[in-house]
Structure 1
């Protein structure tokens, strides 16, 4: 495999993809290869387009020029993203990589819009396209070059979990389609005077614009805050639960500060009667070991719960039976009871499915419904219910 051959020969210790320097070298390699291939394709298509008087070929060539600029921006982005943390950016500069991908997306859109205008003008004022076999062969060569470049960038992007390189891979794959349309346009120009070149040019330009908007969406999501990787979520939860005394976890929040740079916080339920010193040592050990194992910065908050009281367990089971009949409720945590005798307060938190769509009136109705069901069993009990949102699911 050519991609693996290049990586193994130009990147020392290439398997250590969590290392910032190794990630930077992956980005450099992708950028350099992209610059070389796109520079060559731009010159080939510019020459071919001028020779054949084809606006669609010229548009495709300038699409390669935008890819060339994108490769340069990607390299700069990886360089900046690899800068260490400082006083102004205590979590590093990893998000610069997302910004570089965003700039690439905008450039792609601008190129597409410009050639929509040029292609429309070619339809209004048509000019004959001169078929040339050498030009046709060069277009076919460019198609195969872009197929390989797409696979190469995808390999690099998946290896280091880079949105910028995956975006470059998708862009190159789109170029395969546009170059194929150009080849078809060049062939058809032999038999028709219809301005198909202009229409193909518009088709290519629209595809370029669409690709740009798709890339913007993909790069904005991590900047705005998207749900974390489900596999990482599962690893954190299972990892915390394997430690002694921890019986449950909830309220996991993961902040993304760039590829391979995550900070996570989670609440861990522990017995309330255990020594603070003892559980503190357990929590410290969990934070230290899981942070190293998962390449994240993990903070664990302790939630003491009563694990031995039979009365609390019995009431908790009653509440669990009640909420099991409510499909919106995903889970319950932080369950505790205060007060004495019949005048007790039942306190707990609920994770609600799609809480983002819940209005204030919906929350009030849900709380009243649960409170009503509890008071049917215990008339003098009152409830304090907190509705939480899960930050680890869509």
Structure 2
């Protein structure tokens, strides 16, 4: 099934994030301690916590690939959304930690100038993480994965953190350590805003919310299918990166089973053109309104 193939592709993004975080946290902590840079050390510790978030995304993608069983008739696709939710919590904690450290910096400024090399490490890390962000963002759009999208936003936040660390280090080197604190505050708010966006999208999916515009688009498609007299009910929900749609339509009561079945197949074919990862269940009811009008006459 295509959805499971996409989930396997999504693992590439998680593994790329894990590899990048391990590499960058190692060099940041090494250069941070030897170069006397608290900002770079904090950034390195930030990347260590990001490894946990990336592993959570990877585990969610793995669980999502499990086939349906007696307790999960629709499969395990929501594990991917739960992984996104967990990633948002980790990002929020990191953002709050960055804000807390920045506030402390206002009351306890440091006079120790870090090594210029630490600024280079910070900016190099930002470039690497931005590249990982672009890769994961494109991958998430290609496979329509919420978990990989959450990982991409996490990568972007880490790139911003590294830029902030680099600017703060330069400020400390040139005699303006307060710039480090101000930048950290801005970066902390950006991380928390990103975490909130991921959290909100994950909760909407887990509570079976459905995009109203998408529902209206598909309703128009259904109404235009030949043989559909009335669309009586439309229900939709997201299960991981798969969309489940339940329809109730009214048709001519004189149609036989084969003719009615053709209408359902036509509905599925037209919706799949715009929403490939969509499972459609069509319930057919007879439309007796024309008969009632005839009897009244």
Range into which the TM-score falls when normalised by the shorter chain: 0.7 to 0.9
1:45 maps to which residue?
28
**TM-score, reference length from structure 2:** 0.85
Equivalence for 2:188: 205
- CA-to-aligned-CA distance 1:149-199 (integer Å, 9 cap, x gap): 110000110011011111121222222322222222111212326544344
CA contact (8 A) 1:95 1:257 kept: yes
Q: Answer yes or no: is 1:300 the counterpart of 2:282.
A: yes
* 1:96 CA displacement: 0.6
Partners of 2:133 and 2:155 within 8 A in 1: yes
Distance in 2 (CA, whole Å) between partners of 1:188 and 1:297 is: 55
* Partner-residue secondary structure (3-state), 1:64: helix
Assess, with a 3 A threshold, how the Cα gap between structure 1 residues 77 and 278 changes in structure 2: closer, same or farther.
Answer: closer
* Alignment check: 8 A CA contact 1:120 1:198 kept: yes
1:93 matched residue in structure 2? 76
Aligned counterparts, 1:136-285, within 5 A: 136-192=119-175, 194-228=177-211, 230=213, 234-235=217-218, 237-238=220-221, 241-243=224-226, 245-260=227-242, 262-272=243-253, 274-277=254-257, 279-283=259-263, 285=265
With normalisation by structure 1, the TM-score equals: 0.66
Stretches of structure 1 lacking an aligned partner (at least 5 in a row): 1-15, 313-336, 342-394
Answer whether contact 2:228 2:263 (CA < 8 A) is retained.
no
Structure with the largest fraction of helix: 2
CA distance in 1, matches of 2:187, 2:217: 42
Aligned residues: 295
Q: Distance in 2 between matches of 1:229 and 1:308?
A: 31
Root mean square deviation of aligned Cα: 3.0
The Cα offsets for residues 195-245 of structure 1, whole Å up to 9 and x where unpaired, read as 4434433333333223222221121121123324845763575257434x3
Any stretches of 5+ residues in structure 2 without a counterpart? none
Distance in structure 1 (CA, Å) of the matches to 2:12 and 2:141: 14
Distance in 2 between residues matched to 1:266 and 1:98, nearest whole Å:
25
Deviation at 1:62, TM superposition (A): 2.5
Shift of 1:264: 1.6
Distance change in 2, residues 1:218/1:288 (3 Å): closer
| Higher strand content, 1 or 2 | 1
